[in-house]
Chains A and B, each alone.
Chain A
Amino acid sequence: MDLTLHVWRQKGPQDKGKLETYPAKNVSPDMSFLEMLDEVNDGLIKSGKDPIAFDHDCREGICGMCSQVINGRPHGKQEKTTVCQLHMRQYNDGDEIFIEPWRAKAFPIQKDLIVDRSSLDVIMQAGGYTSCHTGGVDDANAMLIPKPTADYAMDAAECIGCGACIAACPNSSAMLFTSAKVAQLAALPQGKPEARKRVLAMTQAILDEGFGNCTNHYECEAACPKGISVKFIAKLNREYLKTMIPTSTDA
């Protein structure tokens, strides 16, 4: 099939950037979206032009690097699928495809489709961890965790930190990402000791990094390639409310 691509080209962080049009000819339906871009880049390189810069790493849907908004939807039109797992059979001959980077103040564009997502790391550094002693490995069954709790934490842990939730959010809020981390750790015994400190620090980091506030649009859940539920945002809100209840160590 032959396609027409409208791709965001931006030389660097300071450049204004604009959409440029490229033909993508003889695209096989079995190609992934990134392989299709590889072919287009091959053509650009051969004709002496600058190839389209885009992020990618594992190409198996788990690393969260491929950050592209395709025809207005983060990761393209297929539900619960990252760009690398999106295949060209989803498109028809003659289609026009708009490819843009994540757009948010907290995700400055580095070049073309590549954005700097370090702000998510800063949120993680603020509290997305549990402190534990080093030394011998604990016995795997020493700490009993009910199966539903483990499943709940695992559902939250599915988040790959790609940033699609922020790209989809009309407010550029990082609440779904943050809530997945807060909920995962708050649900498990290992995360409980630091639960209060964590939710306050991580939600503060959201604002400090220039993300917006959550106003319950739920676009994040719809865009998430891992299907992270907004119920984790409700859980984060519960964790926040809990910090208002004084504990015996507060007084």
Chain B
Amino acid sequence: MNLFKSTVGRKILMAVTGLMLVGFITVHLLGNLSVFAGADAINAYAKHLHDLGPLVWVFRLVMLLLFAVHITFGVQLYLENRAATPDNYAIQKTLVTTFSAKTMVFTGLIILAFLLYHLLHFTVQITNPEISAQNLPLVDGHLDVFTMVTLSFQKVFISLVYIVAMIALTLHIFHGLSSWVQTLGLSTGSSQDKVTYIGKIVAIAYGLAYIAIPLLLLARIVK
């Protein structure tokens, strides 16, 4: 089908899957922030997710598909673009593009590496078994996710991994959220569209909120 081969079709696929993934990190962030509301809040949130049962697997399957499309075409387009630009200028100058736009494939791959670690850490729970929820005493018959999270982020290495990954995520969605309007053909003015600015502000807000969790737990401001 043309959509999967065309230069514009794949660009649109990147934007659509990217936006859906931003939808996912929005919900994920709201869930995460419940850690600041205390142990009961995040443990209840975790229990609700668990209680969804087979729905969780449907959701995971959809996520896998979105990631597969976004990563496959992202890497493919990057390789094509490198091949189209075999030689560099002696003086390489850019005027308006951003660091974020230039590093999309790299921040994307950092996020992928982080995602794998994140799943091993909090979902499969094999990277730090001594503080994993499945090995911690149950609280009111439920897994103690709060203690797992706080003990994890009190470790400098784990917090650092999460903070670096969230900086990469912020950079990644900084370009993504400011350029999807253009890609989907909704932009009528120049790149100065209001949505561009809103997208950049949202990206920074998401980044700060995500980084706040490991940072505040590491600094023991939240216990």
Contact = CB atoms under 8 A, between A and B. Distances in A.
A98 B179 CA distance: 33
B85 A6 contact: no
Interface string A206-239: 1100111111111101110000011101111111
Secondary structure of the A contact surface, majority rule? mixed
B189 A231 contact: yes
A187 to B, nearest CB: 13
Given A213-B10, A222-B96, A237-B12, A231 B84 contact: no
A88 B123 CA distance: 64
Contact of B191 (A175, A230, A238): A230
B95 interface: yes
A240 interface: yes
Chain B interface size, under 10 / 10 to 19 / 20 to 34 / 35 or more? 35 or more
B182 A237 contact: yes
Contacts of B88: 103
B15 to A, nearest CB: 9
A73 interface: yes
Contact of A218 (B84, B92, B97): B97
Contact of B185 (A6, A103, A204, A235): A235
Contacts of A25: none
B104 to A, nearest CB: 7
Contacts of B185: 234-241
Contact of A231 (B96, B97, B187): B187
A222 B95 contact: yes
Interface in B68-123: 77, 80-81, 83-97, 101-102, 104
Chain A interface size, under 10 / 10 to 19 / 20 to 34 / 35 or more? 35 or more
A9 to B, nearest CB: 12
B75 to A, nearest CB: 12
Contact of A240 (B9, B85, B182, B189): B9
Interface string A173-200: 1010000000000000000000000011
B184 interface: yes
A51 interface: no
Contacts of B186: 234
Contact of A204 (B6, B84, B189): B6
Contact of B84 (A71, A168, A172, A241): A172
B155 to A, nearest CB: 37
B11 interface: yes
Given A230-B190, A237-B183, A237-B185, A105 B93 contact: no
Contacts of B7: 173, 175, 203, 206-207, 213-214
6 contacts: A8-B90, A19-B90, A71-B91, A104-B85, A175-B7, A219-B95
Interface of B: 2-3, 6-12, 77, 80-81, 83-97, 101-102, 104, 175, 179, 181-191
Given A203-B7, A214-B7, 13 more contacts: A69-B89, A98-B90, A100-B89, A104-B85, A171-B84, A172-B84, A173-B81, A175-B7, A207-B7, A213-B80, A219-B94, A230-B191, A231-B189
